[in-house]
Structure 1
Amino acid sequence: MKRTQGGMTLIGFVLVLAVVGVFIYMGMKLIPMYSEYYAVKQALNELSKEPGISQQDPGKIKDLFFRRLYISYADNVKPENVKFARKDAGYTMSVDYEVRRPLIANIDVVGHFMAEQQLRRDGID
């Protein structure tokens, strides 16, 4: 009986390694974008729990928000991305921003993120 070897050739292994490497590289570009988005959502959530936040001036609220983002190293959110709308006994604060990262050559990864939070007198959503 003749035994034949089974397995992957060197070329097949290199191709699989290249595909896995591309996915890891894409993950390295995408994960920081999404972790920043979750930091924005967390900062908004913490801000809504602050006592008396709805009585504050929108400029003061924006300052408190960006102090929280500074701790999280969130650099892509700019003051012009933050909007306030008066609603009931407080504000609706929305953060709408875009992140663009170069991927390969002239191909970019673009992420558009939108987060919104109610800031009420009682501190409840």
Structure 2
Amino acid sequence: MKRNQNGMTLLSFIVVLAVVGFGLYIGMKLFPMYQEFYSVKEAMKGVANEPGSGDMDPGRAKDLFFRRLYINYSENVQKDDVSFERVGNGWRMNVNYEVRRPLVGNLDVVGNFSASQDLTRSGISE
């Protein structure tokens, strides 16, 4: 009676290891981009929770926003990426920016991020 062994061969183990390694490599490239986006959203909420943020001058609100980003070491959001529009009881802050990271050779990972936050007169975000 002949017994057959079941399991992975060395070649199949190496292939699985390569696929998992490539997935981890991509994750290492994407994680900082999304972590920075989370910091941007938290900074926007922080500005919205400032008392009287709806009455604030957009330049002052932008300055507060970038001070909060500076604490979080954000480097991809530029002054031109932040805009304000008037809404009924205050301002709406819009942040639109792009992050480009090299992946392999001439391939890049590109992330387009967009967030908006209402700045109300009472200082409470809606």
Normalising by structure 2, what TM-score?
0.95
Give the aligned partner of residue 100 of structure 1: 100
Structure 1 segments unaligned to the other structure (5+ residues): none
How many angstroms apart in 2 are the aligned matches of 1:85 and 1:5?
A: 68
2:47 maps to what in 1?
47
Deviation at 1:115, TM superposition (A): 0.3
Counterpart in the other structure of 1:37 = 37
Runs of 4+ in 1 over 6 A off after TM superposition: none
Give the distance between the partners of 1:61 and 1:117, measured in 2 at CA: 12
| Coordinate RMSD, CA, aligned | 0.9
Count of residues in correspondence between the two structures: 125
Residue 94 of structure 2 contacts residue 117 of structure 2 at CA under 8 Å; is this kept in 1? yes
| Aligned-partner Cα distance in 2 for 1:99–1:112 | 7
Q: Structure 1 residues 18-27 or 85-94, which shifts more?
A: 85-94
Identity of aligned residues (%): 58
> For 2:96 and 2:83, how far apart are their aligned partners in 1?
8
Aligned AA (1:2): K
Give secondary structure in 2 for the equivalent of 1:53: coil
CA contact (8 A) 2:89 2:121 kept: yes
- The AA in structure 1 aligned to 2:28 is M
